[in-house]
Amino acid sequence: MLSEEARETLADFQRRDTTFQNVELAPPTLAFDQTLTIYGGDLTLELFPAPGHQPDQIAAWIPELRLLLAFDAVEHPLPTLADPAGVPAMFATLERFLSLQPARVLCSHGGATEVAQVEKNLRYLHEIEQRVRSLLATHHHTNTDLVSASILSEYPFEQVLSAMATPGEDVNEAFYREAHDANVRCVVEWLMSQH
pLDDT digits over 123-170, tens only? Answer: 999 999 999 999 888 877 777 888 888 889 899 999 999 998 888 788
Q: What is the pLDDT of residue 110?
A: 67
Q: What is the pLDDT of residue 142?
A: 75
- Judge if 36 and 93 occupy the same domain: yes
Q: What is the pLDDT of residue 28?
A: 86
pLDDT digits over 56-111, tens only? Answer: 899 999 999 999 999 999 998 999 998 999 999 999 999 999 999 999 999 987 66
- Judge if 20 and 93 occupy the same domain: no
- Judge if 172 and 92 occupy the same domain: yes
Mean pLDDT across 40-46: 95
Q: What is the pLDDT of residue 2?
A: 81
- Judge if 21 and 82 occupy the same domain: no
- Judge if 98 and 188 occupy the same domain: yes
- Judge if 68 and 21 occupy the same domain: no
HEC assignment per residue over the chain = CCCHHHHHHHHHHHHHCHHHCCCCCCCCCCCCCCCEEEECCCCEEEEEECCCCCCCCEEEEECCCCEEEEEEEEECCCCCCCCCCHHHHHHHHHHHHHHCCCCEEEEEECEEECCHHHHHHHHHHHHHHHHHHHHHHHCCCCCHHHHHHHHHHHCCHHHHHHHHCCCCCCCCHHHHHHHHHHHHHHHHHHHHHCC
Q: Containing domain of residue 154, as a range? A: 32-193
Q: What is the pLDDT of residue 103?
A: 95
- Judge if 12 and 101 occupy the same domain: no
- Judge if 63 and 140 occupy the same domain: yes
Q: What is the pLDDT of residue 128?
A: 96
Position 39 confidence tier, pLDDT thresholds 50, 70, 90: very high
- Whether the pLDDT of residue 25 is over 70: the answer is yes
Report the CATH number that the domain containing residue 66 is assigned in CATH.
3.60.15.10
Q: What is the pLDDT of residue 149?
A: 87
- Judge if 91 and 183 occupy the same domain: yes
How many folded domains does the chain comprise?
2
- Judge if 127 and 108 occupy the same domain: yes
